[in-house]
Amino acid sequence: MTRDQARVALGVVPLTNGALATLAPAGLMRRLGVTRETNPAATYLFRMFGIRTVFLGLDLLARDGDGRRRAIERAPAIHAVDALAALAAGASRQLRSGGR
């Protein structure tokens, strides 16, 4: 796999996941065991994180160096905050393991 192919693959994954979270959050919520009844803000949060993830994917897919540079500069902080939020949600039992 070339560097360019790897960059495209790394761009497609967040673009796809972000689009799903933005346009169809209920499916992802089900997989995590979250419902609108138990967490009414979940739809908003999925869409908020989803659109941000779409832009990260688009930056990675950019043909110019500026988009890729932005993605490289922003991604570590964004993913670190996402990981910490997921760990905190899991530790406080706000999410059920495996959607069960």
pLDDT in tens, 34-77: 888 888 888 988 998 899 889 889 988 887 778 878 888 888 88
Average pLDDT rounded to a whole number, residues 6-31: 91
pLDDT in tens, 77-92: 888 988 888 788 778 8
Tell me: pLDDT of 100 over 70: no
Print burial letters for 29-47: b (CB count within 10 Å at least 16), e (below 16). beebebeeeebeebeeebb
Those residues with Cβ within 8 angstroms of residue 91's Cβ, 6 or more apart along the chain or in another chain: none
**42-61 and 25-32 helices cross at what angle (nearest 10)?**
110
Residue 12 pLDDT: 94
Residue 22 pLDDT: 94
CA angle 44, 74, 46 (to 5 degrees): 15
Q: Would you state the structure tokens that stand for residue 39, as one six-digit string?
A: 């967490």
Q: Shortest CA distance to 4 belongs to which of 60, 79, 66?
A: 60
**Coil, strand, or helix at residue 42?**
helix
